[in-house]
Structure 1
Amino acid sequence: MSATAALSPGTREISIDGVRQVFHVAGTGPVCVVHSGGPGIEWEYLRMPGLEQHLTMVYLEPVGTGASGRLDDPREYRLDTYARFVHGVVEHLGVPKVFLLGHSHGGFVAQRYALDHADRLAGLILFATSPVTGPEFWADAVANVNRFPERHPDRREAAEIPQAFQDAVGATDDKAFTDGLRRVLPAYFDDYWAHEQTLEPMRAALRAWIDPQRGEEPAPFDVRDRLGSIELPTLVVTGAHDFICGTRWASMLHEGIPGSRLTVLSESGHMGHLEQPETFNRVVAEFARA
């Protein structure tokens, strides 16, 4: 298939190592492959119509989610697996280089891919992510979740967020995982209720699959000592009120990757593309043009 055909708008399906990989193409301009977070969360929360005016956005449905295929062994849902599927799509698109935007867990995938396949990238966009996970990372996230009700004392639903987070983490099937994420979703925003009318349809439609949560990494994700080898143009974006991948972790990325740019969205949490879309779109579009 020619690059023109592969990048025409619509839904595409290819096979990588015998597993179905679905992706969606929208927009015009330089190609930007987009990897959503989770793992296990449906891609559509990350749709960015504003950026489609500047870039040809290629939204992946990560393996194990949505219409993409499933792995026989859930333990194989690892970062190197996701990076392999990214590479399969990049090869299929048939263009010399692409931008790669990774959000949250997708940012872990993007970093892994950049370290292994820098020659295929025009630039790297690390959105609400971190160069490390492990006990300290998760302890920080849990502490922030537990403090979330203090930020919204007038919201009854805010008081339920810490328990909802624990329920999502402890889910054992798709329904429980999806329900838990829907309940905890306000924690992913600076002020969910200020945008509730716009965000509630997304929340109601949110779906998630538990198997990708069962992946077995050989070690906690930590590429801090390799960031200096990333010579790609890199944009780091985070929200000032991101409870899980906030400024502490974004600063590590910015300080570790030579020449990287850092943008902190002052009125956003983990979902800056939804809370401050105009600023987010402008910053990413300017980065891509540069």
Structure 2
Amino acid sequence: MHLAHLTGAGLGLRRGLLAELIGDHASGADFLEVAPENWIGVGGRLGKQLRALSECRPLLCHGLSLNLGGFAPLNLELLHAIKGFLDEHGVLAYSEHLSACADDGQLYDLMPLPFSEESVLRIAERVRIVQEVLERPLIIENVSAYARLPGELDEADFVRAVLERADCQLLLDVNNVYVNSLNFGFDAEAYIAAMPSERIAYLHVAGHYDQAADLKIDTHGAPVIDPVWALLSSAYARHGVRPTLLERDFNFPPLAELYAELAHIRSLQQAAQPLSRYGT
């Protein structure tokens, strides 16, 4: 299978969900997504369980520590380990965050970038190196943020510029757009509309935490809220239906509740089906 043939609603595979998903054979998910850093080199019972799931459901990978926006040299050892994992499990696609996450050491957070032309050129070159090492395309994700660094571009223009310069695809995280629109006061619908349809590979949705009216924290620890569902529906209307993944990292509810959210994704996709995959 190729990513272009993937459809439906997927679920982020977390170890806290593993036992239930194995027992259920992930019947409510059309595909699964894992962070390769959490699984590289893992054997024994956990490794066998991952293999069992990757054999019964298409698998995507979403990286955590590539540091695309950083200044430290790319970790080639990590890249080669990721390539081996992608090859071993027949992973359909690999995505990473459009952020910085390391300097002299791993920061364990996704740090904001300057939205500047210099950043665009530097990141595009790092994307090129990643794709050469992995021998496959890289998909980049728009990230949530809580501070802005100096730069002459707005966020949507910056993301578009990186996509064009690096000639790569986009993992459009709808919840991150919603969170940032409230944190920084921009129009979420306009941001979604500004994304290039032909470069959107798939989408993410998740829940977040309301720290304050003007501060939302992208936690992946709660159900998706109605405004994010509405924004997802708008993304389908604007760009056409794409495979969409639900992220849940902790505060896990019964699996049936996560499957209900996946069913809601499919209902929104079905409502948008008259559109082509790449919009009208």
Same fold (TM over 0.5): no
Query: When the two structures are superposed, what TM-score results if normalisation uses the length of structure 1?
Result: 0.36
Query: When the two structures are superposed, what TM-score results if normalisation uses the length of structure 2?
Result: 0.37
